[in-house]
């Protein structure tokens, strides 16, 4: 297994830098370990390069595109039995007002924005959020109702060091979307947790304990006959 990583891991894990890998013709099972897999980012190109070489790679380019397009991600999550809330994909504020009451949350759909999400509690805030996240109405946005409390958790190979419920949810999300390192936007409503979006982590958000966990998971991979290289 070839581990291509832009993250400095523990010394017992051998990795290759993305810049080196992208100049190589190495063929092997490839674990693309990156804090940011978004379209046209280095993490995305690592998976593209591995696939061009004919290697199986985790995550695949299809995994990446699906996971970081919130409507597609929500559709896949729903089909897999992961709790999600109703959502609307549109560029029309009028349509949004016809579907949802305030407050609501708005995510970008276009591949060039990364601003987390915006909360709209009134018409003025909604117009500003849609204009910003749609790049002046060039793209649609994904709107969901805000029914409870929003919070963010880190997911590392499906592990979440929060509580048992979130750990199980994170595991199911990883099995479905196959993104090794990411940030989950979830909403807690009446004792139930719903997945709202998946977004990249910043490198500075990875703590020493996270690095240890990543290294441990990688070291155990070759001995596992599980989801890592299925599909």
Domain boundary among 145, 163, 183: 145
In a domain, 231, yes or no: no
Instruction: Inform me whether the pLDDT recorded for 47 exceeds 90.
Output: yes
Looking at the chain, the whole-number percentage of residues with pLDDT higher than 70 is 95
Calculate mean pLDDT across residues 23-27.
96
In a domain, 208, yes or no: yes
Q: Are residues 77 and 159 in the same domain?
A: yes
Per the structure, the complete domain to which residue 124 belongs is given by: 88-145
In a domain, 164, yes or no: yes
CA 122 to chain centre: 28
In a domain, 71, yes or no: yes
Q: Are residues 160 and 46 in the same domain?
A: no
Q: Are residues 78 and 165 in the same domain?
A: yes
Token pair belonging to 192: 């139930």
Domain boundary among 145, 163, 192: 145
**CA gyration radius, the chain:** 18
Q: Are residues 74 and 174 in the same domain?
A: yes
Task: Check: CB of residue 185 under 8 Å from CB of residue 196.
Answer: yes
CATH code, 203: 3.30.470.20
Q: What is the C-alpha end-to-end distance of the chain, expressed in Å?
A: 16
Q: Are residues 37 and 136 in the same domain?
A: no
Burial 66-81 (b: 16+ CB within 10 A, else e): bbbbbbbbbebbeeee
CATH code, 131: 3.30.1490
Q: Are residues 60 and 167 in the same domain?
A: no
Q: Are residues 16 and 57 in the same domain?
A: yes
Domain count of the fold of the chain: 3
Residue 83: name the closest of 9, 2, 160, 144 by CA. Answer: 144
Could you read off the pLDDT of 206-226 as tens digits, one per residue?
Answer: 999 999 999 999 988 865 445
Instruction: Inform me whether the pLDDT recorded for 231 exceeds 60.
Output: no
Residue 59: name the closest of 70, 74, 48 by CA. Answer: 48
Q: Name the phi and psi angles at 78, rounded to 5.
A: -60, -45
Q: Are residues 154 and 212 in the same domain?
A: yes
In a domain, 119, yes or no: yes
Residue 93: name the closest of 116, 115, 54, 120 by CA. Answer: 120
Q: Are residues 78 and 156 in the same domain?
A: yes
Could you read off the pLDDT of 138-196 as tens digits, one per residue?
Answer: 999 999 999 999 999 999 999 997 888 899 999 999 999 999 999 999 999 998 999 99
Q: Exposed, middle or buried: residue 169 (CB in 10 Å: 0-12, 13-18, 19+)? A: buried
Token pair belonging to 210: 């996270």
Helices 70-79 and 164-177 cross at an angle (nearest 10°) of: 110
């Amino acid at each position: 297994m070839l581990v291509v990583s832009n993250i400095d891991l523990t010394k017992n894990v051998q990795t290759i830098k993305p810049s080196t890998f992208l100049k190589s013709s190495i063929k092997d099972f490839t674990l693309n370990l990156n804090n940011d897999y978004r379209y046209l980012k280095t993490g995305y190109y690592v998976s593209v390069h591995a696939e061009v070489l004919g290697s199986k790679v985790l995550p695949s380019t299809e995994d990446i595109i699906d996971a970081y397009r919130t409507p597609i991600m929500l559709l896949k999550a729903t089909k897999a039995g992961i709790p999600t809330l109703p959502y609307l994909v549109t560029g029309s504020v009028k349509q949004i007002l016809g579907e949802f009451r305030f407050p609501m949350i708005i995510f970008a759909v276009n591949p060039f924005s990364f601003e987390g999400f915006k909360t709209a509690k009134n018409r003025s805030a909604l117009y500003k959020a849609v204009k910003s996240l749609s790049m002046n109405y060039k793209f649609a946005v994904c709107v969901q109702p805000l029914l409870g409390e929003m919070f963010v958790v880190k997911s590392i190979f499906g592990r979440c060091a929060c509580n048992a419920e979130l750990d199980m949810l994170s595991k199911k999300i990883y099995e479905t979307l196959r993104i090794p390192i990411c940030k989950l936007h979830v909403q807690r409503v009446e004792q139930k947790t719903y997945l709202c979006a998946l977004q990249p982590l910043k490198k500075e958000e990875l703590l020493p304990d996270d690095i240890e966990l990543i290294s441990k998971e990688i070291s155990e991979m070759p001995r596992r006959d599980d989801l890592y290289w299925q599909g």
